[in-house]
Structure 1
Amino acid sequence: MRSTLRSCAVVALGAAAALSLGLGSATADPNLLDNGSADPAGFLPDSDDLVGTGSDTIQFVTDALARGHNASNPTVRLASFDATNPTTGLPGGNITIRPGVDIARPNGSGAGITTLTNNTSVDFARSSRPSNGSNAEDLLAFIPFAQDGLSYIIDDASLVPTNLTAADLKDIYTCQLPGFDAKLPQASSGTRSFFLQQIGVTEAQIATAVAAGCVDDTVQEHNPNAVDGDPFALAPFSAARYESNPPDPTNPPANIVTLASGVDSGAFKATRNVYHVIRESAVGTAKFDSVFGPDGYICAQFAAAAGNKIEGFVGIGAACGIPDDDR
């Protein structure tokens, strides 16, 4: 168990934890708020804590849940490391996930799941997609906790139609319908894989489209700058992230770009569950169930939330906390 002395010491480290420990420029995200400023309740995770990485889509809602959980559960804390650096907003770089343990920052659901699979110092992954059915992911439990919507964003002064269907988007993202600046998140993105599945496009087709110059698949997901100021650009975008922007609550993406499904009922729109992913062997253990299980902290917060909604994500009722393969 954590000693009182050690608990006080790590809080005192604050945002300077990496420097104090001689770990160079690595950043411990639980020391920071979503806007990159120092969190007065910040800490460097230890062996008692649950460390997670992964999805950009749900990083902020998991951050919020972690802070609430940690305020009342100081023994086993949630430490969620964002897909991008909270201070700079940029992907890449290293993170210090426990004393003396540095890893490359995972950016996206796939990267977080891979890290969970390969690194025993990581306890969970954030994911905006379900399991892909691979042998590696069969050893993991995908635990849904909320629902999100997915459509596409365009510039506020865009020439892109607001009623594009899945079939239209398939044509655009396979170069069959020219005249668009089609954007797609980075390769490890769960939003990317879910979006492509919904419009019926394979990664092989995207590779061909990228080579032909009609798709840019290198943009950071849920960054409205990908289309802002470009009247021909479009990109898939989370409905929850569109209405909520914790780093700058007064300036959500809704103030910058347009979500097509929000203005046109004919626009492509899909719904998806979002997940916390843990090892199958951890399911049923008190440490994990008290956080991720159906009677755990996270499901309780959605059940109690006004409108059953937290930061744009909608609760899923009795399905919350029950792994996909158990339903």
Structure 2
Amino acid sequence: MIGKPYLLDTGLTSRSISFENPTGAPGEGGKAASNLGPGRKGSPMRQIDPGQTVQLCDIEGLGTIRHIWLTTIQEPVAQRAMVVRAWWDGQEHPSIECPVGDFCGFAHGKIMPYHSAVHSVGPTGGRNIWLPMPFVKRAKFSFTNEGEKAVPLFYQIDYTIGDNHPDDVGRLHVLFRRENPTTTKEDFELLPERKNKGRFIGSVIGIRNLHPDQWWGEGEVKVYMDGDTEFPTICGTGSEDYVGLAWGIQQTPFFYNGCSLDKNNFISMYRWHLPDPIAWRERARITIQQISWKNGLAETEDDWSCATFWYEPTPSAPLPEMPDLQARTADVWHD
């Protein structure tokens, strides 16, 4: 559709869900009333109380979520306290479970304006995700405020129905991990082992350098797949090398790779394997080492996090347990 926007008879029908049309049904948008009357911006947002969960969508049938936009408050702690979850095709456990900030492209709760192939983020916290999210029976999204105060939420989910997906189409999976600090010689897992066919899309990776007197990023990415044991099939050459940079990290965001934050020993970087797929048939596990340079290579421990994105069919195994609120929000960025 992107490559041939002039094709009109695609068999697809466009729909959109927001608080102005929470079902996406035809002719049902904008019916709420404001002080200006019915249909005049009557329900663009809601306040989400502490501990409250709201349903963002519950779509039945074949379709593809094409784009999600949302915005809320900008406080760094809140970006890790608000959580997005998604369920595909009737599966009981979520396939997406991630803090809102990391899901939308930035680590540490620090909003930085940039765009990539997957995300675009505005300077005041307008955030977008562009990865297609196919489903064959049902798609559900929720938003939970695990913070201590109410937050405003504006959102819109744009999708199509009438898509022709096979039953084993890859469903988007997203997890969040954090180790604060990591453990010496125990490589940080970007993707804990998955026992299903799949395709790795990439990660938003956060690093808080706990040793400012040394370079943190000599560690290599390793992709263990389809029978690999001690040694991987795919092996990188360094942490900044993995995100397409070199000779240290630079705050330079690009379309498929780069770094959106490099300030005060906080780094947020990303890599998207869209033109260069990493796919497996049976199982995969992906790690990155914590190796520093201080008068030579040395093992180190720092604060690492990731929001990792991949596709695999359902049924799929449950995600690893997400860190709790305190573990997610400790030591985030402070404005």
Tell me if both proteins adopt one fold, taking TM over 0.5 as the criterion: no
State the TM-score bracket (shorter-chain normalisation): under 0.3
- Give me the TM-score of the superposition, normalised by structure 1: 0.25
* The structure with more strand, counted as a fraction of residues: 2
TM-score normalized by structure 2?
A: 0.25
Ranked by relative contact order (alpha carbons within 8 Å, sequence separation 6 or more), the top structure is 2
Compare the two structures and name the one with the higher helix fraction: 1
